[in-house]
């Protein structure tokens, strides 16, 4: 964690400048930005459940087509 303490005669603008400089030097920001929109991969159990659900709905749709209720 980056911590910047304000000096006695320091303005808030210079404090912010020092803080942003420390963040740029640390390299934290690019790392956070790259992982911002990543989603977790599904577990094996979850993959099996979704596959079974998809197969079941596909089977039901095929059944309704054979009955002539769906074109």
Angstrom distance (rounded) from CA 25 to CA 13: 18
Angstrom distance (rounded) from CA 30 to CA 36: 10
What 3-state DSSP class applies to 70?
A: coil
pTM beyond 0.85, yes or no: no
Convert 6-64 into a string of H (helix), E (strand) and C (coil): CCCCCCHHHHHHHHHHHHHHHCHHHHHHHCCCCCCCCCHHHHHHHHHHHHHHHHHHHHH
Instruction: Spell out the per-residue pLDDT of the chain, length 71, in tens.
Output: 888 999 999 999 999 999 999 999 999 888 888 888 888 899 999 999 999 999 999 999 999 999 999 88
pLDDT at 1: 82
pLDDT at 41: 92
pLDDT at 38: 86
């Amino acid at each position: 964690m980056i911590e910047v303490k304000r000096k006695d005669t320091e303005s808030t603008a210079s404090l912010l400048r020092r803080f942003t400089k420390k963040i740029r030097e640390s390299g934290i920001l690019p790392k956070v930005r790259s992982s911002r929109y990543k989603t977790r991969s599904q577990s094996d159990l979850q993959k099996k459940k979704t596959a079974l659900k998809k197969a079941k709905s596909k089977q039901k749709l095929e059944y309704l087509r054979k009955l002539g209720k769906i074109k």
